[in-house]
Amino acid sequence: MNKRTLNSDFAVWLSDPNFAAAEIAQLIGYGAAVLDIEHGAFGLADLERFIPFLKALGFDVLAKVLAPERAPIQQALDFGADAVVIPHIDGAAHASAVCAFAKFPSLGDRSLAGGRTIGYGPYSDEWLAAEDARIRCYPMIEHAGALAEVDAILELPTVDGVFVGPGDLSVRRGRGAYARQADDFADQRKIAHAARGAGKHWIMPAWSEDEKRFALDNGAHQLALIMQHDALRAGLSRAFDEATALSTKGQA
Give 190-201 pLDDT, tens digit per residue.
999 999 999 999
Answer left, alpha or beta for residue 161, where phi above 0 means left and psi between -120 and 50 means alpha. left
2 has pLDDT over 80: no
- The reported pLDDT for the residue numbered 1 is 46
Cα separations (Å) of 93 from 64, 74, 97, 143?
20, 20, 6, 14
Check residue 5 and report its DSSP letter: P
Which of these ranges, 6-15, 115-124, 143-152, has the smallest mean pLDDT? 115-124
Mean pLDDT, to the nearest integer, of 233-244?
Answer: 97
How much is the mean pLDDT over the chain? 96
Question: Tens digits of per-residue pLDDT, 104-138?
Answer: 999 999 999 888 888 898 999 999 999 999 999 99
pLDDT > 70 fraction of the chain, expressed in percent and rounded: 98
Query: 14 forms bridges with which residues in the sheet?
Result: 35
Which residue, 32, 38, 27, 4, is CA-closest to 16? 38
In contact, 241 and 200? CB cutoff 8 Å? no
Give pLDDT, residue 119.
87
| pLDDT digit string, tens, across residues 16-65 | 999 999 999 999 999 999 999 999 999 999 999 999 999 999 999 999 99
Distance between CA 177 and CA 35 in Å, rounded?
23
3-state secondary structure (DSSP) of residue 161: strand
CA-based angle 101:66:13, to the nearest 5? 110
- The answer for residues whose C-beta is within 8 angstroms of residue 44's C-beta and 6 or more apart is 75
pLDDT for residue 219 is more than 80: yes
